[in-house]
Structure 1
Amino acid sequence: MREIEKHAADGIGRVDYAVASGGGRVVRHSEAYLPKRGGLTAWIPGVDVGAKPEKMLQPSFGEPGQCFAIQGSSGFVEIKLKSGIIPEAVTLEHVSKDVAYDRSTAPKDCLVSGWYEETPGETQSGHAARMALAEFTYDLEKNNVQTFDVSAPDVGVINMIRLDFTSNHGSSQLTCMYRLRVHGHEPVSPGTAGSQA
């Protein structure tokens, strides 16, 4: 019963501050993979090459090809989070090896950084300078949903996250981003710290 509840709670049971349905959005990314052949977009077996960047901020339900494809074996994505948070971990997801057509498109060596970007008229701020939060390798021999803890001390509040991947698992053409999640907690306001709901 516990495993069924965990699956129903987005598979890992942790709040995702990057999920598109909650207000997360992709603001910048490397060049999307749109192969051309004779003036038309070429079809690549197993990859939805027309997918929008927001695809990586939505549940993929483990369906092969339902990803955002980035040109080449390295690149980046930048995401504006739902709100300012103190980050604790990131979760990177690729398609399961049990149903994958080609896992060479999975990101491999990754660096996640974060910062606070003020919006016009805003006075509250967190860390404006970008700082490294976690560096990790996505391992194809492990579960397809992998969570990596933030290793940087005293991060403070961020509302922007950037995932840079310097390699993938072998594809020179493209890297598939299935889903990126960001976990943490919202800072407690001084006026609400002692109040009870």
Structure 2
Amino acid sequence: MDYQNEHENCCFYHVFRTFVCVVLSLLLGLQVYTYFVGPQDALEGDFTDIKYMVIQLTKGLTEVNRKHETLKREMERISESLPAVAAAAGRAKDALEPSRRGVRHPLDLHDYDRQMADYALETAGARIVDTGETLEHIVYDSPVSWVLHMISSALCRDCPGASSIIRPGTLPGECWAFRGSRGEATIRLLGTVHVHGVSLEHIPPHISPTREISSAPRSFQLEGLEFRGDPYGHDFGIFEYNKDGKPVQYFEVLHPSSKGFSLVRLKIYTNWGHSVYTCVYRVRIHGELVSDQSRPTSLPMKDDGLRIENE
């Protein structure tokens, strides 16, 4: 049986090979006949068309290569500019961060005073007018200095050291130190101001003599007052200073007011753990100064001046 199958396969192979040879011979003969007997003009025309097509294809490939090189150079240029674009996007994001209401954000110390006006600056006309029941923390050199301080405290509620919080300069020790963790200071601004934000400043730990700032304020509140000692001031919000953040930290008011204030009260409620005293280095008040045209007509200028003098 196997021998019969093998014989059949061999016959089929010979038949197929013969068929292929015959077909190839016929095709070859046809080509030879066409070359020697057929019209030469038609043959030359075919070669001319082929040559034209080859030339067009060559031009197309050259144009494709040129565009590829141009695209490659553009991609390389874009790749080189991506780091600069990412850096610019980062700077834009940092610049937009302060616009988020109620969010604390750190600002560079040197750029801060050039970017935002401070309406609580003593050199511009602001001053401390009251510190309530706050007691200054003073290391007395002698009993006489202690007696003099007690007399001055009884005669004037304005702690002399509190003025340091509205003065430029925040070297170690240039602060208002008061006993415990609770204190307050009323600031007369340089004019009537629509208050938009407040900033608090403290020295960083690396320049502190003790290498820590547990005496820094933590929780504090800002109020707008109609008059000195106003018990129902407008609450701008309660904020928290982060001792691990930047030295200058800005806080946008949580409860804005449509009216302006010439007096604001800063209340410190807690510090970062110091059991003896709290240090406040500098306070800045930011906003927009109210123009003279926006003053109420029912309050004459002279009455306002008298009210200031009576305070």
Question: Which TM-score bucket, shorter chain as reference?
Answer: 0.7 to 0.9
Q: Partner of 2:289 in structure 1?
A: 186
**Residues 28-177 of structure 1: matches in 2 within 5 Å?**
28-29=130-131, 30-36=134-140, 39=143, 52-60=161-169, 62-101=170-209, 102-117=212-227, 129-177=232-280
Structure whose residues are more often strand by fraction: 1
Q: Which ranges in structure 1 are unaligned for 5 or more consecutive residues?
A: 1-5, 43-49, 119-126, 192-197
Which range moved further: 28-37 or 156-165? 28-37
Partner of 2:184, secondary structure, is strand
Match of 1:46 in 2: none
| Residue 128 of structure 2 is aligned to residue 23 of structure 1 | no
Amino acid at match of 1:17: Y
Count of equivalent residues: 170
Structure 2 residue identity aligned to 1:58:
R
Q: Which amino acid aligns with 1:180?
A: V
Partners of 2:177 and 2:276 in 1: CA distance: 10
Assess if the C-alpha contact under 8 Å between 2:119 and 2:126 holds in 1: yes
Q: Sequence identity, in percent?
A: 25
SS for the counterpart of 1:53 is helix
In the alignment, residue 140 of structure 1 is paired with which amino acid? K
Tell me the distance in 2 between the aligned counterparts of 1:12 and 1:134: 25
* Residues 128 and 66 of structure 1, relative CA distance in 2, 3 Å threshold: closer
Larger Rg over CA atoms: 2
TM superposition shift of 1:155: 4.0
Q: Is the 8 A contact 2:225 2:263 kept in 1?
A: yes
Q: Tell me by how many angstroms 1:38 deviates.
A: 6.5
Output the CA distance in 1 between the equivalents of 2:180 and 2:267. Answer: 13
CA distance in 1, matches of 2:118, 2:259: 18
* Superposition CA RMSD, Å: 2.8
**Structure (1/2) with the larger helix percentage:** 2
The match for 1:195 is none
Q: CA deviation at 1:97?
A: 2.3
Give the conservation status (yes or no) of the 8 Å contact 2:191–2:290: no
- Classify 1:8/1:108 alpha carbon distance in 2 versus 1 (closer, same or farther; 3 Å): closer
Give the 4+ runs in structure 1 shifted more than 4 A: 6-10
Asked if 1 retains the 8 angstrom alpha-carbon contact of 2:119 and 2:286, the reply is yes
Uncovered stretches (5+) of structure 2, i.e. residues with no partner: 1-107, 147-158, 295-311
Distance 1:130 1:63 in 2: 32
Q: d(CA) in 2 for partners of 1:157 and 1:129?
A: 15
Deviations 1:121-160 (A, max 9, x none): xxxxxx9951111211100111110010011133411011
Query: What CA distance in whole angstroms lies between the structure 1 residues aligned with 2:283 and 2:124?
Result: 14
Query: How has the CA–CA distance of structure 1 residues 86 and 63 changed in structure 2, closer, same or farther, with 3 Å as cutoff?
Result: same
Larger RCO: Structure 1 or Structure 2 (Cα < 8 Å, ≥ 6 residues apart)? 1
Q: Say which SS state the counterpart of residue 235 (structure 2) adopts.
A: strand
SS in 2 for 1:26: strand
Instruction: Tell me, yes or no, if the aligned pair for 1:134 and 1:148 is still in contact at 8 Å.
Output: no
**Cα gap change, 1:149 to 1:39, in 2 (>3 Å):** same
Closer, same or farther: CA 40–96 of 1 in aligned 2, 3 Å: farther
Q: Secondary structure at the match of 1:143?
A: coil
The TM-score normalised by the length of structure 2 is 0.49
